[in-house]
Structure 1
């Protein structure tokens, strides 16, 4: 059963000369406990489509959809108060830049305890104890001491773990991870991905993983949506996508992987669209 259903989602941004369409008629659905990867190059509308669901786009954005429901509830028709009860509790998000997403003026302990206080009603010792438990769960060493650290005193990988701890604090049913390993080195990337998959399994969450890394998709996803220039190019289970991609853009993405290179240069997307047009 689908927990999130989005049909014909369009996002336009007002500009000085008119408007710009960032997302053009996207359909997305994810089932309980499923890992869905949304893949595509920068600017393909991956993050914008999920920020629209979260209600985090600026006032210059106009969002329309034939359907935008979570667990049968119409998100688009919710009041701001109703949406606040949902977002950050049942639906949470991990953003691209962990250091930029944390407030530099407060300790990480204050920030996670604030979430526990607002979303779960915990305070004092209970919030502190739960924060230590969450830091332990995401693999932060010496969690008691780290609660007193400011973001700039922690590494990028540790800040990402803090963001994950904050995201799972209310035990959400749907977690959206937006390029969660982009700013991290390869070793830390693997640790963060392994952690996300473990937490997804432990909590039984649905997970939407936004990425441009096809290797990450192959290792983690059950199903894949491929986007290009704000449109959905293809949707398939992960095995079918890698074995028999249907869209020329998907074939271009896979062919551009370094391990698939056979000549002096990597193929471009235009090469594959030209090939498709010639058929």
Structure 2
């Protein structure tokens, strides 16, 4: 049984100009100890699909699916109170823009301890010691001092590590990382990716990596889903995807990698039209 299994997921938003479908009938499954990458341009519905799993979409969103199960448990129709016991504990998410995702009014220690209190029942000294331990796990060596810092007193890379610490605080079975290296410099990006992969190996959790960076996919993923305008265009193991891509959209993404530049011009995905491939996953 897959750790997470989704069948025919669609997400629509009620806007002032009518109904907008952001995700259109996609399937997603991931096993424990597996790294699944969901790749595509901005606006392809990658984050929206996973936010639907987390139950974090606004009231204007309508979510439908034939199946949305975690360890065989129906997430789509379960009682909200029961779902809150799973989300944040067994399924955790690292959001884009760590500085914006952390509450500027509270210390990072308070925010980590809040997760531990909510889901693990830890309070006081026990919660503080665990928070310091988590900061050390994610590479913040002066955790005992940093625990009292506010987000604005930390660098972008440190804030991202704090977000990871919050996400792994309850030893989740599934971690969703949404563009975890956005707005970080190249050196810090490498450190964050290495950290996530090592945590996945050490804990045995499933990892879903949402990204538009094919380099990240090549270095981290076991299996890849390619999305375009809310549709799944292709799904394959990472080696097959790079060596024998079936979708023209996937081939366009790969051709836009810097190492594939021809002369002084780098092809862009905007140079192509993939309307005829929508809804016809190879």
Instruction: Kindly provide the CA deviation profile for residues 34-54 of structure 1, in whole angstroms up to 9, marking residues without a partner as x.
Output: 000000000000000000000
Corresponding residue for residue 75 of structure 1: 75
Corresponding residue for residue 147 of structure 1: 147
Instruction: Kindly provide the CA deviation profile for residues 41-72 of structure 1, in whole angstroms up to 9, marking residues without a partner as x.
Output: 00000000000000000000000001100000
Runs of 4+ aligned structure 1 residues displaced above 6 Å come to none
Corresponding residue for residue 175 of structure 1: 175
Local SS of the residue matching 2:76: helix
Local SS of the residue matching 2:3: strand
Residues 251, 272 of structure 1: 8 Å contact kept: no
Corresponding residue for residue 280 of structure 2: none
Residue 183 of structure 1 deviates from its aligned partner by 1.2
Gap regions ≥5 residues in structure 1: none
Local SS of the residue matching 2:96: coil
Residue 228 of structure 1 deviates from its aligned partner by 0.4
Residue 17 of structure 1 deviates from its aligned partner by 2.5
Instruction: Kindly provide the CA deviation profile for residues 161-202 of structure 1, in whole angstroms up to 9, marking residues without a partner as x.
Output: 000000000000000000000110000000000000010111
Instruction: Kindly provide the CA deviation profile for residues 118-160 of structure 1, in whole angstroms up to 9, marking residues without a partner as x.
Output: 1100111111111111011000021100000000000000000
Residues 3, 70 of structure 1: 8 Å contact kept: yes
The answer on 1:121 being equivalent to 2:115 is no
Corresponding residue for residue 197 of structure 2: 197
Instruction: Kindly provide the CA deviation profile for residues 3-22 of structure 1, in whole angstroms up to 9, marking residues without a partner as x.
Output: 00011100000011320000
Local SS of the residue matching 1:2: coil
Residue 218 of structure 1 deviates from its aligned partner by 0.2
Residue 271 of structure 1 deviates from its aligned partner by 4.7
Query: Which structure 2 residues correspond to residues 224-239 of structure 1 after superposition, within 5 A?
Result: 224-239=224-239
Cα distance in 2 between the residues matched to 1:93 and 1:216: 18
Residue 237 of structure 1 deviates from its aligned partner by 0.1
Cα distance in 1 between the residues matched to 2:18 and 2:271: 32
Gap regions ≥5 residues in structure 2: 278-282
Instruction: Kindly provide the CA deviation profile for residues 226-265 of structure 1, in whole angstroms up to 9, marking residues without a partner as x.
Output: 0000000000000000000000000000000010011342
The answer on 1:33 being equivalent to 2:30 is no
TM-score of the superposed pair, with normalisation by structure 2: 0.95
Residue 79 of structure 1 deviates from its aligned partner by 1.1
Q: How many residues align?
A: 276
Residues 248, 273 of structure 1: 8 Å contact kept: no
Cα distance in 2 between the residues matched to 1:123 and 1:44: 41
Cα distance in 1 between the residues matched to 2:22 and 2:248: 21
The answer on 1:17 being equivalent to 2:26 is no
Cα distance in 2 between the residues matched to 1:172 and 1:162: 16
Cα distance in 2 between the residues matched to 1:135 and 1:42: 31
Cα distance in 2 between the residues matched to 1:233 and 1:270: 16
The answer on 1:163 being equivalent to 2:147 is no
Corresponding residue for residue 248 of structure 2: 248
Cα distance in 2 between the residues matched to 1:222 and 1:159: 27
